[in-house]
Chains A and B, each alone.
Chain A
């Protein structure tokens, strides 16, 4: 998951695309945050994440709860106008194809 995501971020760095995370790790404690940062470096997570402060007790944190997330990872594909276009496409190739289409549409809209 993470290596593929990183490859997408690299591939489309000059196009209108952003990978945004909503991270539910246990970052509510100092120790949890330190562990998170260590892993972030180790795994090469270069993109930005909302901090959804997991408590580590199995409860669903705030943003995830708002979005009715019940399983992780959950993926939303949002277009340049903020409209949800797809959900939970997890196959690498399919994901790339769909996103490429959406990015092209965003570029065309920007030209107008």
Chain B
């Protein structure tokens, strides 16, 4: 019921736009275009997941391996659409969400990622809208080196405090995950000096706690588990001994 009402409402909204013609050159509502893109993308990804699961089950039964190509996500056409839309709104804040979409979701489309990061840096580094996409930059640094300088630029120089805070948090998260604890703590302390937002400050406190938990000089959190023979044991059983704890696998 709700769904039908919603669909009808959507139809009504899009009717005047559609009346302008189907040509790509018509100006469309950027928010609506983004929603449409995000929705069809989500559907395609979930369909891909279902297919992949089915292939895995089938291959297992047959005692075969699933080819690597089956794992590749079909992102190409969505990235192309996002690229078109980003060009349509070139230079405007509305382009940022499409560029962000590419940075967040593109997989094999290396050139598109590079282009999106470059465009974000050249056209939008000083815009407030950049704050919404800084979280995705660490994920593409290997594919687009300029993502690092863009994140640094926004974190260190952006005129808007809120945007700077977003970038500092993104960089702290990245450094924390990469074991660069001192750098992560330095950014978190900067955030503490910049914001009074209680939610953000709580997040910062949690992140600091988290980093200190596994830092050199801290007591290691206990591990309670079972060994490969099914026997339970704890890391703390080994107090009194020096332990070399090795996260490993044969693979």
Contacts and interface: CB of A to CB of B under 8 A. Distances in A.
B21 interface: no
Given A70-B178, A87-B216, A63 B244 contact: no
B228 interface: yes
Chain A interface extent, by class: 35 or more
B220 A73 contact: no
Contacts of A8: 244
Interface residues of B, number: 35
B247 A19 contact: no
Contacts of B241: 16-18, 80, 106
A50 B225 contact: yes
Interface in A52-69: 52, 54, 63-64, 66-69
B219 A82 contact: yes
B244 A77 contact: yes
Contact of B242 (A49, A52, A75, A103): A103
Contacts of B242: 16-18, 77-80, 99, 102-103, 106
B152 to A, nearest CB: 21
A68 B214 contact: yes
B242 to A, nearest CB: 4
Q: Secondary structure of the A side of the interface?
A: mixed
B216 A63 contact: no
Given A82-B219, A82-B236, A20 B226 contact: no
A51 B223 CA distance: 11
Contacts of A54: 249
Contact of A20 (B215, B228, B246): B246
B181 to A, nearest CB: 10
A61 to B, nearest CB: 10
A48 B245 contact: no
Point out which of A1, A68, A74, A110 has the most chain B C-beta atoms below 10 A from its C-beta: A68
A87 B179 contact: yes
Nearest to A103: B242
B247 A48 contact: no
B249 A23 contact: yes
Contacts of B215: 84
Contacts of A20: 235, 238, 243-246
8 contacts: A17-B242, A20-B245, A52-B247, A72-B247, A78-B220, A78-B243, A81-B219, A84-B214
Interface of A: 1, 5, 8, 16-25, 27, 33, 36-37, 39-40, 43, 48-52, 54, 63-64, 66-70, 72-88, 95, 99, 102-103, 106, 110
Interface of B: 176-179, 210, 214-221, 223, 225-228, 233, 235-236, 238-251
Nearest 7 CB-CB pairings of A with B: A50-B225, A76-B245, A74-B247, A16-B241, A78-B243, A102-B242, A24-B249
